Amino acid sequence: MNLIEWFRPYWTPINFFYYALISNILISLWDLYLHYRQHRIYKSQPKLPIDLAPYMDEESFNKARLYNLDKSNFGIIHEVFNIFMKMFLLWILFSSILWTVSTEITYKYFQYHNEIFSTIVFFILQSSISTMIDLPFSLYSNFVIEERHGFNKYTLKFFIWDMVKKFLVFQPIVSLLVGGATYIIIRFEDQFFFYLWLFSTLTAFIFLIIYPSLIAPLFDTYTPLEDSSLKTEIQRLAEKIKFPLKNIYVVDGSKRSNHSNAYFYGFFKSKQIVIYDTLFDENSIYRKKIETEEEKEAAAAEKDISESLEGDEKERIIKEKTKAEEKPKKKSSGCSEKEIVAIICHELGHWYHSHVFKNLIVSLVNLFLIFKIASLFYNDNVIYEAFGFFGVNKPKFIGLTIVIETIFLLYFEVITFCLTPLDYRDFILSFSRSVLFKILGFQFCHDNH
Write out pLDDT tens, residues 235-263.
999 998 888 999 999 988 888 888 888 88
The more confident residue out of 110 and 186 is 186
pLDDT bucket at 448, cuts 50 / 70 / 90: very low
Binding site, annotated residues for Zn(2+): 346, 350
C-alpha distances (whole Å) from 44 to each of 37, 49, 145, 273 are: 11, 12, 21, 38
Tell me what the mean pLDDT of segment 79-91 comes to: 94
> What pLDDT does residue 328 have?
47
> What pLDDT does residue 435 have?
45
Residue 376's closest CA among 100, 1, 3? Answer: 3
40-49, 122-131, 416-425: least confident range: 416-425
CB-based contacts of 406: which residues, under 8 Å, 6+ apart? 16, 19, 20, 23, 383
> What pLDDT does residue 445 have?
44
> What pLDDT does residue 396 have?
92
Does the residue 146 lie in any domain?
Answer: yes
Does the residue 38 lie in any domain?
Answer: yes
Does the residue 139 lie in any domain?
Answer: yes
Does the residue 225 lie in any domain?
Answer: no
Decide if 405 contacts 320 (C-beta within 8 A): no
Does the residue 191 lie in any domain?
Answer: yes
Does the residue 91 lie in any domain?
Answer: yes
CA distance 339 to 346: 11
The answer to whether 347 is a known catalytic residue is yes
Q: What is the mean pLDDT of the chain?
A: 82
> What pLDDT does residue 288 have?
52
Whether the predicted pLDDT of 327 surpasses 50: no
Whether the predicted pLDDT of 323 surpasses 60: no
51 exposure class (CB count in 10 Å sphere: 0-12, 13-18, 19+): exposed
How would you write the chain as a 3-class SS string? Answer: CCHHHHHHHHCCHHHHHHHHHHHHHHHHHHHHHHHHHHHHHHHHCCCCCHHHCCCCCHHHHHHHHHHHHHHHHHHHHHHHHHHHHHHHHHHCCHHHHHHHHHHHHHHHHHCCCCHHHHHHHHHHHHHHHHHHHHHHHHHHHHHHHHHHCCCECCCHHHHHHHHHHHHHHHHHHHHHHHHHHHHHHHHHHHHHHHHHHHHHHHHHHHHHHHHHHHHHHHCCCEEECCCCHHHHHHHHHHHHCCCCEEEEEEECHHHCECCCCEEEECCCCCEEEEEEHHHECCCCCCCCCCCCHHHHHHHHHHHHHHHHCCHHHHHHHHHHHHHHHHCCCCCCCCECHHHHHHHHHHHHHHHHCCHHHHHHHHHHHHHHHHHHHHCCCCCCHHHHHHCCCCCCCCCHHHHHHHHHHHCCHHHHHHHHHHHHHHHHHHHHHHHHHHHHHHHCCCCCCCCCC
When divided into structural domains, the chain yields a total of 1
10-14, 337-341, 370-374, 423-427: least confident range: 423-427
Write out pLDDT tens, residues 196-236.
999 999 999 898 888 888 899 999 889 998 888 889 999 99
CA distance 96 to 105: 14
The more confident residue out of 308 and 177 is 177
Does the residue 397 lie in any domain?
Answer: no
> What pLDDT does residue 422 have?
60
The more confident residue out of 57 and 68 is 68
| Single-letter code of the amino acid located at 341 | V
pLDDT bucket at 432, cuts 50 / 70 / 90: very low
The more confident residue out of 307 and 212 is 212
Whether the predicted pLDDT of 326 surpasses 70: no
> What pLDDT does residue 399 have?
92
Instruction: Say which of 347, 385, 405, 413 is annotated catalytic.
Output: 347
> What pLDDT does residue 2 have?
60
Residue 243's closest CA among 145, 99, 348? Answer: 348
Binding site, annotated residues: 346, 350
47-56, 124-133, 373-382, 420-429: least confident range: 420-429
* Domain of 134, in residue numbers: 14-220+404-427
CB-based contacts of 148: which residues, under 8 Å, 6+ apart? 70
Does the residue 202 lie in any domain?
Answer: yes
